[in-house]
A and B are shown apart, each in its own frame.
Chain A
Amino acid sequence: MITPEQRAEFRTYFRYNVGRRLLLDKIVKGTVFLCVVVAIVPLIAILVDVFTNGSAALSWDFLTKIPGAVGSDDPGGIGPAIQGTIVLIGLSSLIGVPVGVMGGIFLSEYGNNRYGRTVRFFNDVLAEFPTIVIGVFTFVLVVLTIGNFSVWAGSFALSIVMLPIVMRTTEESLKLVPVTYREAGYALGIRRYRVVFTIVLNSAKSGLVTGILLSVARIAGETAPLVFTILGSSQFINGLDGPIDALPLRIWRLSSLPYDSAVTQGWGAAFVLIILVLSINIGVRYLFLQKKEKTFLKFKRLGAIS
């Protein structure tokens, strides 16, 4: 039999308990919200600073002219850097995309065995490698062997950066193609390679393009591998076995110059680079990923979109 006194005691205890727990809950929620604000503010600040400072530097001359002499009145532009970045993206895609796509085909179509798992694992590890290590490696392998800095060396280094991303995203998009599509092909007596090329790759097209574009966005911003391979230059491209300039490299060089004009140019170059990278990232989301939530999630988990 519970006496009224006991009931009152229970009630106070219950109120105390619930009150304490609700308070703790509120405190945690507040802390979490604070975390979000503290973390978001600098992140947003970076974008705002780059956009405001960078857009001030933009002009047609800035985008197309070669850089002026260091410290001179005419600051010139970043034309060679933009050209170099485009050339580098093109050449490294030439190596990275076919190998990456074929590797992805292997992982998805033939990779359900020990060797496939090994490749997948090391591929994931390679994707997270410090890019400076890839730069030093390319320097030792290519630049020291050939004897000079070249566009080829830079493209080779960047192709190593993009390869694992292309390979994994290809694999994931191919795996999403229902096995019945393949079986339909086999039933018609089509050979396996035709099935893969005409049916599977075709159905997985958007995922494939997404992966390639994301890897391009990634290598567009890479600086560390380029320091050791293309050296940088202030002229437009002059043959593929000579040095060349690239946007991230130019930003780095500009940041170490003590002139106001260099600072303005640095912001301008950062603005161009960020626009390039972010427009690829945002564009990809809207063009391909909206209806493909599954691919999207998988890519994200792989760190391709990070």
Chain B
Amino acid sequence: MVDPLISGLITKCIMMTIKMKKGSPHVDKIFKYVAIGAATYVLAIIALIVFNLGTGSAQVWQQEGISFLTGSDWNSVEGRESYGAAPYIMGTLVNAGIAMAIAIPLSFGIAMFLSELSPRLLRTPLAMVIELLAAVPSVVYGLWGLLVFRSYIKDWIEAPLHNVFGDNSIIFAGTPFGLDILTASIVLAIMIIPTIASISKEIMMAVPNSQREAAYMLGATKWEAFRLAVLPYSKSGLIGACILGLGRAVGETMAVTMLIGNATGAAAFPSSLFQPGQTLASIVANEFAEASQGGLHLAALVGIGLILFMMAFAINVVAHLLVAKVVKSHEGAVLA
């Protein structure tokens, strides 16, 4: 009964392979569908991420409801379990905000130097160094921050500021220890500078030279040419570059985890620059090993992953829409 069926199938398969070798039109179709399948894989992965993070954290949403977003309790002791992510959401925003405030002016400075002012000899090596630095893994930045940068910032920046302003000022309160929001933000800024700078440089270089020449012809200085011709032309691209940097800053895990000091619960609300803090990414990385499988603690950490996903997704969608607009209209210019 079964045998003829199987042998029939095998014959059919062999026939199909022979046909394929001759080059039947099916092969092209199969090829196309495989390609479509590979592309669909990406969409499937994103859908699976949403679905899995949702189901993995369902428990904590049921238990805490909206207070998971607004609450600040963080207690993983059995029987008194209570989870609120508000301090970490705030911590992520503050940390990324300070990092962006430091990184954006410096990156634009570098980009402007590379695209407008730099002598030819200096341009290529400098651009290359900056691009290579973007490739340095985040854990190496973290290690450097922990072992080298921390003591510098403690002795040279935090201690003097603390001595001058003392505990009375809000943002400089607390004993300088080196493992705090300030250190984490500065190292984070160092990490995202190469990203923002190299994208901004590309965007500024994409401005056609005729624009600059028109400004020079009117007697503009370098700065005026930059302000009048280059900036307006590349504005939305530069904003997109910044938002891409913000996306990286929000999702950055290892370096921040190693440097931010890892406070939990209400104490993690960012109040002073010299206080230990916590971000969404760092609390997941830190507490993950302690969470038991199937417990509420784990569900809470997965829930935090979901919040982080939502933030990063929104940021990246906006950034790509902005960059895509520029790239579309300047396509020729970038490649010419």
Binding site for B on A (CB under 8 A): 21-22, 24-25, 28-29, 31-36, 38-40, 42-47, 49-50, 98-103, 105-107, 109-111, 115-116, 118-119, 121-126, 128-134, 136-137, 140-141, 144, 160, 163-164, 167, 191-194, 196, 217-218, 220-224, 227-228, 248, 251-252, 255-256, 263, 266-267, 270, 273-274, 277-278, 281-282, 285, 294, 297-298, 300-301, 303, 305-306
Contacts and interface: CB of A to CB of B under 8 A. Distances in A.
Given A32-B117, A111-B39, A136-B284, A221 B138 contact: yes
Given A121-B324, A136-B53, A163-B45, 4 more contacts: A136-B56, A144-B56, A163-B41, A277-B137
Nearest to A38: B106
Contacts of B129: 40, 43-44
Contacts of A282: 132
Contacts of A102: 34-35, 37-39
A160 B148 CA distance: 33
Nearest to A217: B135
Q: Which of A126, A217, A220 has the most CB of B within 10 A?
A: A126
A126 B258 contact: no
Contacts of B316: 124-125, 128-129
Given A36-B109, A248-B254, A132 B308 contact: yes
Interface residues of B, number: 95
SS class, residues of chain B in contact with chain A: helix
A32 B251 contact: no
Contacts of A294: 335
A29 B223 contact: yes
A274 B221 contact: no
A21 B285 CA distance: 52
Interface of B: 23, 27-28, 31-32, 34-43, 45-46, 48-49, 52-53, 55-56, 105-110, 112-113, 117, 126, 128-144, 146-149, 190, 193-195, 197-199, 202, 221-224, 244, 247-248, 250-254, 258, 281, 284-285, 288, 293, 301-302, 305, 308-309, 312-313, 316-317, 319-320, 324, 327, 334-335
A300 B140 contact: no
Nearest to A159: B45
Contacts of A130: 247, 250-253, 281, 308-309, 312
B45 A126 contact: yes
Given A252-B139, A306-B198, A129 B251 contact: yes
Contact of A305 (B45, B131, B250): B131
B136 A274 contact: yes
Contacts of B112: 32
B242 to A, nearest CB: 13
18 contacts: A29-B117, A34-B109, A35-B110, A36-B110, A43-B193, A100-B38, A103-B39, A107-B39, A119-B39, A137-B48, A140-B55, A160-B45, A192-B32, A223-B139, A223-B254, A270-B139, A270-B143, A297-B202
B136 A46 contact: yes
Contacts of A103: 35, 38-39, 41-42
Contacts of B108: 35
Contacts of A45: 144, 148
A43 B335 contact: no
A134 to B, nearest CB: 7
A192 B133 contact: no
Contacts of A217: 135
A193 B31 contact: yes
Given A24-B223, A102-B34, A137-B49, A300 B202 contact: yes
A306 B198 CA distance: 7
A270 B255 CA distance: 13
B238 to A, nearest CB: 14
B223 A277 contact: no
